[in-house]
């Protein structure tokens, strides 16, 4: 890695850049810049980057982690929503000819087009210090949008990382856990205290790596139905699966039929969604779908 004295990870350099450009942190963008080199190096190692990789960085900020990525990967595409940071990035990244900064909203960015243009259509590795208020939409957009991504290594709120990795029967287990685990293998690789950021957030953070499955761990006939059932189960968490799903608009199966399906699946009719595994949700989704088709 380059000399720490010249890097933005040095808090003194970060403060100087912020003052030079009279940058004002925007609450609406959830901006907290990393100022701990050990954390950044942990993220880089966890992403398993090589000189063959093209990295998609979401929210580069002033370019702190981007500098490390540029030293490690072949190419870095950094998408930044805050227009006030674009001139700062032009300065902090001017020494790197393998970095392309794009001003835009990652939720509205055509990632497949970027992969075609900068990586011959091959999957990106995604690295990001994500704004906490929009973590889940960004991650689910990457998965559900079927964009070319092999793994995602991101800084998120500790509570959200715990939810992504949680299993059945735990307080953190929910729709997010199942959605993430349907698409990827989650692994929390580091817990990060507030003093590693400028300004300090009010909550603890964690680095989580999501390695995309090459083959889906469950067989599902209708993905949309699966996730509708999962959402229904956790929207009314304390209700039984029968009542939670049976009361949900758009799922055209009676409570009696749901009880029959649970019995066929050798599950108790009093079971709650929080006790069901991804495999059991997939099985129930397939059985529910078959009931609907058989009535047509």
At 140-194, the pLDDT tens digits run: 999 998 889 999 999 999 999 999 999 999 999 999 999 999 999 999 999 999 9
Q: What's the pTM value of the predicted model, to 2 decimals?
A: 0.92
DSSP letters spanning 34-95: E--HHHHHHHHHHTT--TT-EEEEE--TTTHHHHHHHHHSSEEEEEE--GGGHHHHHHHTTT
Q: Please, where are the H alpha helices in 130-208?
A: 135-144, 158-165, 175-183
- Total H helices, total E strands in the chain: 12, 9
Q: What are phi and psi of 215, to 5 degrees?
A: -130, 130
pLDDT of residue 5: 42
Q: Phi and psi of 189, rounded to 5°?
A: -105, -15
Higher pLDDT, 101 or 252: 101
Q: What would the pLDDT profile of 106-116 be if each residue is shown by its tens digit? A: 999 999 999 99
Q: What is the mean pLDDT of residues 81-104?
A: 96
**In angstroms, rounded to a whole number, what is the distance separating the alpha carbons of residues 46 and 31?**
23
pLDDT over 90 (residue 251): no
Angle at 185 between CA 274 and CA 99, to 5 degrees: 130
Torsion angle, CA of 155/159/164/170, rounded to 10 degrees?
Answer: 160
Q: Which one, of 63, 59, 56, lies nearest residue 77 by Cα?
A: 56
- The model's pLDDT over 10-36, given as tens digits with 9 standing for 90+, comes to 889 999 999 999 999 988 888 999 999
Q: From CA 213, how far away is CA 254, in angstroms rounded?
A: 34
- Helix or strand (DSSP H, E) at 4: none
């Amino acid at each position: 890695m380059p000399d720490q004295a010249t890097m933005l990870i040095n808090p003194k350099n970060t403060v100087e850049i912020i003052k030079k450009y009279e940058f004002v942190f925007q609450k609406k963008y959830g901006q907290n810049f990393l100022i701990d080199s050990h954390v950044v190096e942990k993220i880089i190692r966890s992403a398993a980057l090589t000189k063959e990789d093209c990295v998609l960085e979401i929210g580069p900020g002033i370019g702190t982690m981007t500098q490390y990525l540029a030293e490690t990967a072949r190419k870095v595409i950094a998408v930044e929503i805050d227009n006030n940071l674009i001139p700062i990035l032009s300065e902090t990244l001017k020494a790197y000819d393998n970095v392309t900064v794009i001003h835009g909203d990652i939720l509205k960015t055509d990632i497949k087009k970027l992969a075609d243009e900068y990586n011959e259509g091959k999957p990106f590795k995604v690295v990001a210090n994500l704004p906490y208020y929009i973590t889940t939409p960004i991650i689910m957009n990457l998965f559900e949008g079927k964009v070319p991504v092999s793994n995602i290594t991101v800084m998120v709120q500790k509570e959200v990382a715990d939810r992504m990795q949680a299993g059945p029967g735990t307080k953190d287990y929910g729709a997010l856990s199942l959605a993430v685990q349907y698409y990827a293998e989650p692994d929390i690789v580091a817990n990060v205290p507030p003093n590693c950021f400028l300004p300090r957030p009010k909550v603890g953070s964690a680095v989580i790596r999501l390695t995309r499955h090459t083959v889906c761990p469950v067989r599902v006939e209708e993905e949309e139905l699966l996730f509708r059932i999962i959402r229904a189960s956790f929207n009314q968490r304390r209700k039984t699966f029968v009542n939670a799903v049976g009361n949900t608009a758009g799922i055209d199966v009676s409570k009696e039929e749901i009880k029959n399906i649970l019995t066929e699946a050798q599950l108790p009719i009093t079971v709650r969604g929080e006790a069901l595994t991804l495999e059991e949700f997939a099985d129930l989704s397939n059985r529910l779908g078959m009931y609907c088709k058989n009535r047509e």
